[in-house]
Amino acid sequence: MHITSLEKASKTIPNMEGAKGIFKQIPISKADGTPTFSFRVFTIEPGGHTPHHNHPFEHLNYIIEGTGTVIEGNLAHEIKKGDFVMVPPGETHQYRNTSTSPLVMICAVPKEYE
């Protein structure tokens, strides 16, 4: 068993082309022995966004704080605290913070992609 808190996970600026105003933390990772998924937490500052991208694996998200939009291809969906989002493999997507406070979300991905 591994128990930790988000405060213990270092906050880094991810090296992702097309990203703006994002911080990443990895509270549960392959280094902790997770067999399948790593949990990343992204904080997207007001006006910030992830890249408009896709990847060959599913992407599971939970919105911890804030509001914004998730882009599915070219279609925008409003998201808010408490929402879950499942992005299938190969689907082009982007998260945008359209509010004046941080958008914070858990992002579960296969441990090989953390």
Indicate whether 114 pLDDT > 90: no
pLDDT value at 42 more than 90: yes
Q: Closest Cα partner for 86 from 66, 108, 64, 104? A: 108
The residue ranking higher by pLDDT, 55 or 45, is 45
Domain locations along the chain? 59-78+105-114
Map residue 63 onto helix, strand or coil. Answer: strand
pLDDT digits (tens, 9 = 90+) for 78-94: 999 999 999 999 999 99
Q: How far is CA 108 from CA 34, 46, 74, 101, in A?
A: 11, 22, 23, 23
